[in-house]
Amino acid sequence: MNEKATYIVMLGPPGAGKGTQAKILAEKLGLVHVSTGDLFRENLSQETELGKLASSFMVRGELVPDDVTIAMVKERLSRPDCARGAVMDGFPRTPAQAGAFETLLAEIDGKVDHVPFISVPNDVLVERLSGRWMSHSGRVYHALYNPPKVKWVDDVDGSPLYQREDDKPETVLHRIKVYYDQTSPLIEFYRQAGTLVEIDGTKEIEQVTEDLLEAVA
C-alpha cells in the first residue's frame, strides 16, 4: 500500500525563518522543499517570461498574481519527487491560494497536515532581512546570526553570496504590510481547520527546529 503523502505549510511574515526551517525540515522528514520565492527567482535567473513577470511584482514587494502562482505550484507538485509530500514555503499566501491548494490536494487524495506559524516581532524581521546573505543555490545566511565560514562566500560551493533586491529597508516594510493585509487571514483559516501550531520564531535556529519537529511529529 502506498504511504500517504505529507504536506506542511510554513506560515509567517517575511524574515520569520520559513525558508531556513523549511530546508531543514524537508531534509529531516524526507520531503521536498517547495519555495515559491525560490521558484520565481530561479525563473528570473533563467530569464523566462514567468521570471520577468514575477520580478516586476517582487521588486516592489507586491505579490505575484494568484493564477500565475497557483499554476506554477501545480506544475511543481506534479513532479515525481513530490510523491511523498512537500514542505511549502511561501505558499499559500492569500485566501484564494489556500482554496486552490485544498482543491489541488483533494484531487490527489492529499490534505494539509500541519501549518507551523512562525511568529517574530516586526523590528526583529527588519534586522534579519537587512543582514540576510543568500547563495545562488538558495542557501540562507545571516551576517550575525548564521554567518558563513568566510564572509560573503557560500560554505558549500564557494560561490559569492548576494543580498536580495527586495531586502532593501523600504521594500521590507512594504512586504510586511502586504503580509498583514493579504496573508495573515490564513492564520485564522488554518486555526479553524485545526492544523495551525504556533512556533516562537525568536529562539535560536536550532531550538526553532526542535520545536517544529515536535509540532509536526
Does 18 participate in catalysis according to the annotation?
A: yes
Tell me how far apart the alpha carbons of residues 159 and 114 are, in angstroms, rounded to a whole number.
35
- CB nearer ligand AP5, residue 12 or residue 85: 12
Give phi and psi for 10, each to the nearest 5.
-85, 120
Give phi and psi for 177, each to the nearest 5.
-65, -45
Catalytic pick from 23, 76, 128, 132?
A: 132
Start-to-end C-alpha separation, the chain: 22
Instruction: Locate 86 and state its grid cell.
Output: 512537500
Residues that bind ligand AP5 (CB under 6 A): 12, 14-20, 36-37, 40, 57-58, 61-64, 69, 90-91, 93, 97, 128-129, 131-132, 140-142, 145-146, 166, 175, 201, 204-205, 208
- CB nearer ligand AP5, residue 90 or residue 110: 90
Tell me how far apart the alpha carbons of residues 198 and 123 are, in angstroms, rounded to a whole number.
19
Side chain identity, residue 197 = V
Does 128 participate in catalysis according to the annotation?
A: no
Tell me how far apart the alpha carbons of residues 22 and 8 are, in angstroms, rounded to a whole number.
9
What are the CA-CA distances from residue 29 to residues 7, 25, 33 (Å)? 11, 6, 10
Side chain identity, residue 158 = G
Smallest separation (angstroms) from ligand AP5 to the CB of 175: 5
- CB nearer ligand AP5, residue 4 or residue 75: 75
Smallest separation (angstroms) from ligand AP5 to the CB of 36: 3
Smallest separation (angstroms) from ligand AP5 to the CB of 151: 14
- Chain residue whose CB lies nearest ligand AP5: 37
Catalytic pick from 74, 111, 164, 203?
A: 164
Does 76 participate in catalysis according to the annotation?
A: no
Smallest separation (angstroms) from ligand AP5 to the CB of 3: 27
Q: Which residues are catalytic?
A: 18, 93, 132, 164, 175
